[in-house]
Structure 1
Amino acid sequence: MAKLPSFKLLMGFEAAARLGSFSRAADELCLSQSAISHQILQLETQLAQPLFLRVGRGVELTVAGEVLLRSVQRSLSVLAGGLAQIDTYLDPGLVVIVAPAALLQGWLQPRLAALQAAIPELCLVLSVDESARYIDEVDVDLLISQRPLQQAGVQDHTWLSDEWVAVVSPQRMPELQALPVHQHHQVIGLISLEADFQNDGPSHQFRQQLAAFRRRRIYDDVRLQLDAVCRGDGMAYVLRRQASEYLQTGQLLILPDYPRLAAAPWILSSVAGAPRAEIVRQVRDFLLQAGELEAT
């Protein structure tokens, strides 16, 4: 691999190429024009390519210069984005929570205003990266899942209970209420997830009570599944916590004649003992208290 030019040479080149002038580049970088000319000469010597052509009182890029300019500007853009991200992570109010997208949307999102009011200085980073399985090793303060991390130095709090419930949109409920349950499959189909056929709760229902239903749609994202049911496209078995907001706002209704099936509880994982910052403890305690209130 060829030796990369120094950052100083590339910055001088980028300024001269962007401004079309060595003197204006020198002014921008607080250097002398001869210093910029020397940097460009060094860069051209190292690359064994002419990068500029003199035109009148200015300069124009050669083909090699244009190729290099695009690469340098892309690199500078990536670097600027990284520096901006670092600035964000220096915010003393920052707390990073990782959780499944549907739970963030259906349960946590409606409660964020109360959390923000309780902790005004809070700056939340909410991530749906479910591959994150470590606390504090990948910039994660709190992780929510249905599996305990069982990681050294981490405490797994059994947090929110949950259950599988059969749901339907309000516009489809009357036609189902007008029929006995064993005839429901004649007027409505199932909106499923790929994972439903592996989950202990709903997979049993699919093999038993729901065996006569035609599958209308199979998704790999519960948010799309919930949206389809809200639109009246069919019925579904879903985790009640993930459908929490839809149920509270009346966009979805629980079908009364279908069994509620036990589901694994949600686990809130955090550092055992004192977290890295007091504000992390405040967010954790807020979430734990919200879970306790819902259990009463």
Structure 2
Amino acid sequence: MSNTRLPSFKFLIGFEAAARLGNYSRAAEELFVSQSAVSHQISQLEQQVGQPLFRRKGRGVELTVAGSLLLDSVGKSLEHIRNGLARIETYMDDRLVTLVCPAPVANGWLQPRVDRLLQAHPDLCPIISVDESARFIDELDVDIAITRVPLRQEGVFEVPLLTDELVAVGPATSTDDAALGLLCLEDDLTSDRIGPFIRAHFGGRRKAAIYDDPRLVLDAALRGRGIALVSRLLADDALRTGQLRLLADSPRLPLGSLWISRAEGPSRLPLVRGVFDSLLQFAQEDAQNMRQIDQSVENTSIV
């Protein structure tokens, strides 16, 4: 391990500015210091590294070989720091609320409700992420997390939000479901729990396509390519808008509850609590709507 003492950060900033601008005077103007201050900083830096970093060129300066090598590292490091500070500045915006959610739920349930969120909270600018690894409240700038299992983190308040199930959905215009092939997710076919369910209840139906992303399964059904086995929450918007319909008499497989979490006590921003409460309200309303859709499907199958 090197024992080289790191130069003063002030020296490195002066060096980078002078190297970038090719002139001590312009570097001084940019840094709001005197030209002699910049010259002194660079002299001190040269003494510490033991080599000249600049040579005179006309009214300006140019880098020596040693200076070019140092600038390569210093320039990249300062740019990295500037980018980090810019990111922090972005997160200081008190309109931002970061919400992490599984991709199928974000696509099928959350995204169609963003307009309602914005109506309820006009100042809101939501940051919606499907990175399920970043779900630690207040540790990775996550304000609200929707997850398939409780987080059980200290200092986190969480409650059940929605229930989900695997359902069979078909094109709204189809008149002969028996003729349609099966659209399904590759992971479901190999799952210890979902795989046997599919084989037991849909094994006799030819496979029309197999995908590695549930959103592609849903898209294929919307394009009329077959019967899709998908999360009901993923299909939620398509069912509510009549683009797809639940297949009457088709069995369903419960997929459990989704949980919504936020920090206990006062939130980082007042908006966080408001968004959390709005999502809970939407979920309660949707539970009633789902029961109405189910009742409609049951009535259709009876007829």
Deviates further, 130-139 or 284-293: 130-139
Partner of 2:274: 282
Equivalent position SS for 2:215: helix
**1:212-269 CA distance string (max 9 Å, x none):** 43473331x3233333444455543111112222334455443335322222121112
How far off is 1:12 after superposition? 0.8
User: Structure 1 residue 295 and structure 2 residue 284: aligned?
Assistant: no
Residue 208 of structure 1: SS of its match in structure 2? helix
Aligned counterpart, 1:9:
11
1:135-166 deviations in Å (ceiling 9; x for gaps): 23333222111211223333321111222112
Partner of 1:149 in structure 2? 151
Of residues 202-211 and 52-61 in structure 1, the stretch that sits farther from structure 2 once superposed is 202-211
Per the TM alignment, residue 123 of structure 1 is displaced from its structure 2 partner at its CA by 2.8
Report if aligned partners of 2:166, 2:230 keep a CA contact under 8 Å in 1.
yes
Write the letter of the residue equivalent to 1:227: D
Determine whether 1:191 maps to 2:170: no
Q: CA, structure 1 residues 73+233, in 2 after alignment: closer, same or farther (shift >3 Å)?
A: farther
Equivalent pair of 1:91/1:123 in contact (CA under 8 Å) = no
Q: Give the structure 1 partner of residue 116 of structure 2.
A: 114
Instruction: Assess if the C-alpha contact under 8 Å between 1:99 and 1:129 holds in 2.
Output: yes
Q: Give how far 1:206 is off.
A: 2.5
Counterpart selection for 1:224 from 187, 211, 216: 216
Which residues of structure 1 form unaligned runs of 5+?
A: none
CA 1:217–1:15 in 2, change beyond 3 Å: closer, same or farther?
Answer: same
Partners of 1:193 and 1:119 lie apart in 2 by 39
1:99 partnered with 2:101: yes
Given that 1:226 and 1:243 are in contact with CA atoms closer than 8 Å, whether structure 2 keeps it comes out as yes
Match of 2:84 among 82, 85, 99: 82
- Pairwise mapping of residues 50-69 of structure 1 onto structure 2 (< 5 A)? 50-69=52-71
Unaligned runs of 5+ in 2: 289-303
Normalising to structure 2: TM-score of the pair? 0.82
- The Cα RMSD (Å) is 2.6
Q: Percent identity, aligned pairs only?
A: 48
| Kept after mapping to 1: 8 A contact 2:107/2:234 | yes
* Paired residues of 1:193 and 1:222 also in contact (CA < 8 A): no
Q: 1:16-65: CA deviations, max 9, x gaps?
A: 11111112212222222222222222222322333223222222223332
Q: Secondary structure at the match of 1:209?
A: helix
In structure 2, the residue matched to 1:239 is: 231
2:72 and 2:182 map into 1 onto residues whose CA distance is 53
Give the count of matched residue pairs.
285
* More displaced 10-residue stretch of structure 1: 38-47 or 111-120: 38-47
Contact 2:221 2:228 in 1 (8 A): yes
Amino acid at match of 1:142: I
Whether the 8 Å contact between 1:191 and 1:233 is mirrored in structure 2 is no
Q: Distance in 2 between matches of 1:9 and 1:80?
A: 17
Distance 1:122 1:196, change over 3 A: farther
Q: Summarize deviations over 1:101-146 as a string: whole Å, max 9, x none.
A: 2211221111111111211222322222212343233332221112
Any residues of structure 2 matched to 1:108-187 within 5 Å, and which? 108-169=110-171, 173-174=174-175, 176-177=176-177, 181=178, 184=179
Q: Offset at 1:287?
A: 0.8
- Whether 1:211 aligns to 2:203 is yes
What letter corresponds to residue 136 of structure 2 in structure 1? Answer: Y
Please give the TM-score of this superposition, normalised by the length of structure 1.
0.84
Q: Per-residue displacement from partner, 1:170-200 (whole Å, max 9, x unpaired)?
A: 68x45x43xxx4xx5xx63533142553263
Partner of 2:298: none
1:37 aligns with 2:39: yes
Equivalent of 2:20 in 15, 18, 33: 18
